[in-house]
Structure 1
């Protein structure tokens, strides 16, 4: 087994992924990378395939069989944004939090890092073209759905309203709540934790920042 084959297998196991899924990610049949590792067919990865895998694992292409000079010429940096044609989208993680409790004062809306998502996965979730940001959840009013420390993806597009989980601004605080229309220009801000009573507010009193469409968090 070549060093490139060994390294690809090692990276796949470290990430907890599968060779079949990685093969599909780069547009190949599900057995492509397994044949590369187990049978040496193809003998080496094509440049396009190697680049996509290197970008996914955030390693230099030289670790997957590319030339060391090519990796140096590209000045590899794990935080460098990938070009759109690579099939990945960087979503900014903002240095603010939305409270699932009594309310969090809005902080500086500056990105300090990114989540990287497959463009194909976003399309499958109906989020292609979404304007996404990731923010932290604080408090316990949305437990067990959302817990303190979870990060949520917020779609910031001004879409027609429908009941769901939203990040909203109420006065000078951010909240993450289930928002339901009550009619007569009123909204209910609902908590999952029944220890917290609903907040009934005027539509004019609350600003809807965006709809929560995904969450990440520890098990």
Structure 2
């Protein structure tokens, strides 16, 4: 997409802001989801920035809002008008800074944990959570995924045993509160050998209770474990893939 002057100006101001910012942080500062400005700049949605977003973004970037107005050159203002503009900008900055994940009920942070859920040979699980946060609308988490953000983690897929459903490099959203393999689904689990992402389903009428562990890729054989032999981390409820 060819960028118009307004979109180029947004990227320029973000690149040179001190302290540093990016499209994600600027989107949150405007009270929007983390992808809002990326979609505006690179996908043309929305076509124009709404007035309230324009003022908040200008405050976050420390410029007059006229610099972000389509087709309009920056305003030349008198000292009195400049004072009024600066006051408006300060208010916008204060409001933008207040819009953090902690006190904005519309958006929730989900940490990306730096462990590998292997869809191949397996790998040992590192419990440390030290990845960047992903941001999701709370209403979407509740209504679409029936999930609470506190129970969610983002993990990367490694291996090919779940192709074509999941591919190496995919990011999966794991609900750690959902550990029962009923109904059957895709789970992240430690199977005694390593951390894997597999299709799980209970084996009926077994004592002790057993689970069937399946791969989507026909090159890999199914196998069973007793419930006590596996540790289910959570159910996969969503994934993202680079195109």
TM-score by length of 2: 0.64
The 4+ residue runs of structure 1 with deviation greater than 2 A are 6-13, 15-19, 61-77, 83-86, 126-130, 158-161
1:171 Cα deviation after fit: 2.3
* Residue 69 of structure 1: aligned partner: 90
Q: Is the 8 A contact 1:50 1:64 kept in 2?
A: no
Q: Is the 8 A contact 1:165 1:176 kept in 2?
A: yes
2:186 counterpart of 1:165: yes
Match of 2:228 among 200, 204, 207: 204
* Residue 217 of structure 1: aligned partner: 241
**Deviation per residue, 1:92-123 (Å, 9 max, x gap):** 00010110001111124222201111112212
* Residue 108 of structure 2: aligned partner: 89
Asked which structure has the greater CA Rg, the reply is: 2
3-state SS in 1 of match to 2:104:
helix
> 1:82–1:193: structure 2 CA closer, same or farther, 3 Å change rule?
same
Q: Which has the higher strand share?
A: 1
> 1:138–1:120: structure 2 CA closer, same or farther, 3 Å change rule?
same
Structure 2 segments unaligned to the other structure (5+ residues) = 1-5, 11-29, 31-35, 66-84
State the alpha-carbon separation in 2 of the partners of residues 177 and 64 from structure 1.
Answer: 53
* Number of positions where the alignment pairs a residue of Structure 1 with one of Structure 2: 186
* Residue 107 of structure 1: aligned partner: 126
The two structures, once aligned, show a CA RMSD in angstroms of 3.5
State the alpha-carbon separation in 2 of the partners of residues 72 and 198 from structure 1.
Answer: 56
Q: Is the 8 A contact 1:142 1:191 kept in 2?
A: yes
* Residue 167 of structure 2: aligned partner: 147
State the alpha-carbon separation in 2 of the partners of residues 156 and 10 from structure 1.
Answer: 30
State the alpha-carbon separation in 2 of the partners of residues 217 and 180 from structure 1.
Answer: 25
3-state SS in 1 of match to 2:120:
coil
* Residue 25 of structure 1: aligned partner: none
> 1:158–1:192: structure 2 CA closer, same or farther, 3 Å change rule?
closer
Structure 1 segments unaligned to the other structure (5+ residues) = 20-32, 38-43
Match of 2:153 among 111, 128, 133: 133
